[in-house]
Structure 1
Amino acid sequence: MTEQVKTNTLFSIIWSILSKWGSKLIGMVSTFVLARLLTPADFGIIAMATIVVALLESLTQAGLNLYILRYKEHDNRVFNAAWTVGIIQSFVIAVPLVVLAPFIADFYSQPVLTDVIYCLALVRVIQGLNNFGIIIAQKEMNFKVDFVLTIWTRLSYLAATIGFAWYLQSFWALVIGQLVSSIIGCLLSYFIHPFRPKLSLYNWQDMLKYSKATVPLSIARYINNQADVAIVGRVASAQFLGVYHIAVNLAGLFTKELLMPVIRGLIPNLSVLRESANFKDILLITFAAAVYVFLPVGIGLSLVAEEFVPVFLGDKWLAAIPMLQWFSLYAMIGGIMMFFSEQFLVMMEKEVVSNRLMWARNVILITTILITLVYLDVSHLPKMLFFSVLLALPMVLVSISRELEISLQRILGSWWPALTGAVVMFVVLTFFPQLHWPLFFVLLLKVAIGGICYLATIILLFVVRGRPENTLESLVINKAFGYK
């Protein structure tokens, strides 16, 4: 890999991280403030509407963003066609939403959902008109453009939502926030990138052929991510669904969402990375990085949930504590599997294998949900979902090992320092003494101690092993401290 490629890769990843984490940081602030201004039932109503929108998106997801990123040539005709297909997709989603809105409201016994869904259909049309130049910028590894668009769009959502939530004290603030941010995002996309798309259906046959492989994966991903929420919305109250929705989203925010910007930064460089002689070593280090991040965050969030929820959400969300404890572990394992089986397999043109794995995971998921509802209670669902992904993990790892031709022993062997550090952190925080301090300070102390224990264990093991090369530790520590 040339120095220029390395530099471009590094900066693309940095801007992608800034974009995604900046967006999530603003999202966290929004969630924490809105949780104190609105009620769990308000969030539950919006979750019901979002479930339907996500379903229609999965049924029509052509995956053209990734198609363009994998397309080797810079062809405006292809870009125009992809933009046109995106507009068509937005109307294919919006029109059924408008038609089905009254029936959806009746299904959930929430008449107000009709108007909410009408508004969300308009949001989807506006988003479909966004300038395709943003995707072109990503293809050119210019993630600074994406960063500017993302941050300003999220800030507009934050300002509009919090302002209207304070004024209206209603879930309509969440709807208005989406409308405002979609309009600003669309206008800004044309302001910050010079590309001006035109209606075209050039090369649509090839796009259709590609989408045939991605739509099944999109549908499977929807089932994997939304099946439990959809069922909870039908069998439980809006109040319970609101708490459930916030808990699962917070867990995903601190786990799955952490590594998505890294993936987005790597996608445009995949063809170059695959030509490297040490490509498998790069994959092993990348996989290890995912585990090194997911483990402490997932386990740590579970262990501090009792302080986290009342500090950041308030006392009316205390029912989210046991959910967050299990959802953080669920999202931790689910994030690892997503990183391996969804993103990398698709990038390496193994969509069929990724589809099979996702559908196999869905069989386990749906079976788990049905068993929970028949023999237990919906309140046990977070715990049961964790056991379902734990059951699916070996299947994913074996498949990844076979498809990438990397031994399972090598994959798991790069994880054991992180696993050891996570165990040490778990023991220390489990036996943490009860302190009669303000919860905020207890939370900060537990996070600090847990993080120190985890990092100290990994560094100690690295030194004891003689600072081995070709490991994540050597890459990070050697660069940070100048070791040879």
Structure 2
Amino acid sequence: MSGNRSKLIKGVAWIGLARVLVNALGFISLIILARLLMPDDFGLVAVALAVIGIVGVISEFSLSKALVQRDKLEPAHFDTAWTMNVIRGAIVAVVIALLAAPIAAFYDDERLRDIMALMAVTSFVVGFQNPKLAVFERELQFHQSFVLSLAGKVVGFLGTVGIAYVYRSYWALVIGPLITEIALVAVSYMLFPYRPRITLSRYKDLLSYSIWLTFGRWVQALNWRSDPLVLGYFFSSQLLGQYSMGNHVTNRTIGEIAAPLKQVLFPAFARIRGDAARLRSGYLRSQGVLCMLCFPIGAGFAVLAPEVVVAALGEKWQLAVPVVQVMCVIRMLQMSENLDAVAMATGHTKEMFGRDFRVFFIRWPCVLLGLWLGWGDPYSLLLGAMLGRGASAAVNTWLNIDLVRKITTISVADHFLAVWRPSLAAGLMVAAVLAIRPILPFGTDFDGSVLRLVVMIPVGALVYLASLAAIWFGTGRRDGVETETIAIVLSMVTKLSARFRRNKIAG
């Protein structure tokens, strides 16, 4: 157990470092692109990306997850996965190319034809990525993921920003991902040399696990990636660009914060799936850490969204503020449970498909009802759609927690005990920020927004930490995420101190 825990912590550290650097580049890139390009550019590309995303996910077989979950792997498993991915990439590319003309005609914009043609090439390139990277995830060795993520992001950043700076065109949003995928494929073979062999001999082994995940991803594609297609029918390209930017900002920040821990939990839970007590303990500890770290950032980002959007993106993006705020709340709700990792680790992929199906039939009626209630001016329409998304997220989060209870011994009350302290502390932080905002002597332009952030961010952080400590002490310093965090920090300090002493003696 201690060995797995050590690997888990190191894995989170490597992935966390990669995410910090990757997201820093991503956020810087987003800021630069937001200032170089127009909302119409983002709205246009969002439609094409939605089509590509749906077609790509519908053809996805989740083969990497099957490689991680299987107890015994042979070279033929990797060769089969590589062959299936290449075939899939070719089929996706052809389908996207065939859809280019009809999509351009439907939205009455000929620019979509050429955009989708180039995106078809990107989809084909993705299929060649090295399947043996699953070995690193399987063994909880994540420093290679650090190299892969960073290399791809650096190359993509330079290509995308360079094209945007020179041409000030939406083509930067299309060519940039192609450059990124080419770099990722090349680096994947540098990290793990592999000579593929064309075969489908193990397709039954891989699909027996991944088939329900595949069905689930089909529904997810219709659920999450179809937003620009549906909303694009009601929104102008300008308004759709605001919506897409709000989603991009949230995904680049709040959406990625939880990724390091979530990425390592599936292989970690898979190792202990036969021990119910250890699985329960690991799940609750990880949820406590996740919520303690992410809730203040999500709540803080939501309450500071008016200043962040103006300071980072510019005043032309102010309609994206409610999108960012609602998306932050949705992300916090989703972080309060981790059904995916525990369900995949224990083989409950059929239940995950049922979850995805249920989410679809709750989410879209809520969004369409919100659009109907907000019918009128563009802002009300956007706000109605976002409130519909928020309402559906609240309902589905509760049902997901109940599903965790059904497939494990982890109850709804267990979830509440894991998250109530960081939730209360984050709420007090938001109240403090809202209280000081009206008395700050700064305007709402760029300079004023920056000065507001300089004051409100430290105040919010101090209030959250003080509140969390006060709640913990007030409840008798019970064992929980705070105890676990203190133990990890002390262990790291002890190791660093010992290493420093050894280096000093050796010197």
TM-score range, shorter chain: over 0.9
Question: Distance in 2 between the 1:272 and 1:204 partners?
Answer: 23
Which of 419, 434, 444 is 1:430 aligned to?
434
Distance 1:61 1:408 in 2: 32
In the alignment, the residues of structure 2 paired with residue 330 and residue 415 of structure 1 have an alpha-carbon distance, to the nearest angstrom, of 15
Aligned sequence identity (%): 23
Aligned residue pairs, count: 479
Paired amino acid for 2:218 = I
Deviation at 1:205, TM superposition (A): 1.7
* Deviation of 1:158 (Å): 0.7
Structure-2 residue corresponding to 1:468: 478
Task: Answer yes or no: is the 8 Å Cα contact 1:131–1:196 preserved in 2.
Answer: no
> What SS does the aligned partner of 2:439 have?
coil
Corresponding residue for 1:367? Answer: 365
Partner residue, 1:350: 348
Question: Gaps spanning 5+ residues in structure 2: where?
Answer: 376-380, 443-447, 494-507
CA deviation profile, 1:449-472 (whole Å, cap 9, x unmatched): 112211211112222333212x11
For 2:241 and 2:297, how far apart are their aligned partners in 1? 23
Query: Residue 168 of structure 1 aligns with which residue?
Result: 167
Report the equivalent of 1:297.
297
Question: 1:267/1:396 Cα in 2 relative to 1: closer, same or farther (>3 Å)?
Answer: closer
Cα root mean square deviation, aligned: 2.0
What is the rounded CA distance, in whole Å, between the counterparts of 2:177 and 2:333 in structure 1? 30
Matched, 1:220 2:230: no
SS in 2 for 1:53: helix
Letter in 1 for 2:399: M
Partner in structure 2 of residue 399 of structure 1: 403
Distance 2:270 2:395 in 1: 33
Instruction: Assess if the C-alpha contact under 8 Å between 1:252 and 1:328 holds in 2.
Output: no
Counterpart residue number, 2:503: none
AA of the residue aligned to 2:231:
V
TM-score w.r.t. the length of structure 2 is 0.90
Q: Distance in 1 between matches of 2:166 and 2:90?
A: 32
Structure 1: how far apart are the matches of 2:49 and 2:23? 18
Query: Does 2:324 align with 1:324?
Result: yes
Look up the match of 2:307. 307
Residues 157 and 207 of structure 1, relative CA distance in 2, 3 Å threshold: same
The 3-state SS of whatever aligns with 2:272 is helix
**Residue 339 (structure 2) aligns with:** 341
Counterpart amino acid of 2:208?
K
Is 1:63 the counterpart of 2:62? The answer is yes
TM-score normalised by L of structure 1: 0.94
What is the CA–CA distance in structure 2 between the aligned matches of 1:413 and 1:270, rounded to whole Å? 21
Question: Aligned residue for 1:86?
Answer: 85
Q: CA deviation at 1:335?
A: 4.2
SS at match of 2:225: helix
**Superposition deviation, residue 5 in structure 1:** 3.0
- Comparing 41-50 with 175-184, greater Cα deviation is found at 175-184
CA distance in 2, matches of 1:393, 1:188: 37
Contact 2:367 2:386 in 1 (8 A): no
Question: How does 1:274-289 map onto structure 2 within 5 Å?
Answer: 274-275=273-274, 277-289=277-289
Question: Aligned ranges for residues 19-418 of structure 1 at < 5 Å?
Answer: 19-275=18-274, 277-337=277-337, 340-377=338-375, 378-379=381-382, 380-418=384-422
Cα separation, 2, equivalents of 1:209 and 1:272: 19
CA shift in 2, pair 1:187/1:271, >3 Å: closer
Q: Taking structure 1 as reference, are residues 187 and 228 closer, same or farther at Cα in structure 2, changes over 3 Å only?
A: closer
Secondary structure of 2:197's aligned partner: coil
2:488 to 475, 479, 484: 479
SS at match of 2:367: helix
Partner amino acid for 2:427?
V
> Contact 1:228/1:369 (CA < 8 Å) preserved in 2?
no
Q: CA deviation at 1:275?
A: 4.9
C-alpha deviations, 1:121-177, integer Å up to 9, x for none? 101111111222322332233322221121111111111111111110100112121
Q: Which residue of 2 aligns with 1:452?
A: 462
Structure 1: runs of 5+ lacking an equivalent: none
Assess if the C-alpha contact under 8 Å between 2:369 and 2:388 holds in 1.
Answer: no
CA distance in 2: counterparts of 1:267 and 1:388, whole angstroms? 26
DSSP-derived class of the 1:325 partner: helix
